Amino acid sequence: MEVLVIIGILFLALFVVVPLIERSKMRISSEESAKIARWIWPLIMIALVIQLIMMMMMRG
């Protein structure tokens, strides 16, 4: 039951946040988005390694 509540809250937040972002005047150029995008994969890999280390520490 808790999962359904969490999913419901996430969808509600999505329906509120998306229109606010669309009305926003802030625009990101393709150069800026390319700079941001090149950091995504390394940050994901770092997060996965940290999670793996934390799981190993909890088991051992």
The dihedral through the CA atoms of 7, 9, 15, 18 has a sign that is negative
pTM equals: 0.51
What's the confidence (pLDDT) of residue 22? 86
Q: Please write the tens of the pLDDT for every residue from 5-16.
A: 999 999 999 999
For residue 60, is pLDDT > 80?
Answer: no
What is the distance between the alpha carbons of residues 60 and 56, in angstroms, rounded to a whole number? 6
Residue with tokens 């969808």: 11
DSSP secondary structure letters along 22-55: HH------HHHHHHHHHHHHHHHHHHHHHHHHHH
**Helix (H/G/I), strand (E/B), else coil: 45:** helix
Q: Please write the tens of the pLDDT for every residue from 6-48.
A: 999 999 999 999 888 888 888 888 999 898 899 999 999 999 9
Q: Give me the number of domains the chain comprises.
A: 1
What's the confidence (pLDDT) of residue 55? 93
Q: Which domain holds residue 27?
A: 2-59
